[in-house]
Chains A and B, each alone.
Chain A
Amino acid sequence: DAGVTQSPTHLIKTRGQQVTLRCSPKSGHDTVSWYQQALGQGPQFIFQYYEEEERQRGNFPDRFSGHQFPNYSSELNVNALLLGDSALYLCASSLPGKINYGYTFGSGTRLTVV
């Protein structure tokens, strides 16, 4: 049973560029959430996708956008990268109505903006 998979694992981008991160949820899960975790901080909620729609969003600018595909996989896009976007980006999957069981996280994508 595959867990949550994220790609790439590491990425280095230049300020002003655009980046796309990818996530495949755990088998049987159809809800995907994205988090940004800066060094020494807890994860910060970016947005959540369910049924190919953004269900809720955290306090992130419009430079952060996403998409969910019919197979439940998801992408996170960040435009006009800033140095402050350097962080670990985590994808988590869950079942709707089963969130009390907790989220399952992928291994993350470490983004470095230079």
Chain B
Amino acid sequence: DTAVSQTPKYLVTQMGNDKSIKCEQNLGHDTMYWYKQDSKKFLKIMFSYNNKELIINETVPNRFSPKSPDKAHLNLHINSLELGDSAVYFCASSQDAGGHDTQYFGPGTRLTVL
């Protein structure tokens, strides 16, 4: 069973479009995250949610809107896609927001904006 899953794995789209990436975890974790990995492999947090509540919003443009329908899901919706949004987006989860728990990552979604 996959612990943290993301769909789609690859996403190719035109500038200006709106797209969503879905994330689900079956670990029973309370906290979920979105990270962005740029073309230089640098990973940076975008958002974290704890029990469906937004905790961290790391100065991400408001074209990015995370949505957590329940604590097992954290989706990322991106409006008006720009070339600079091309990256790999990773979802992750951990047991506790402020504890000493490992974050487990999904397989990543490679977004290419043309």
| Chains A and B are bound partners | no
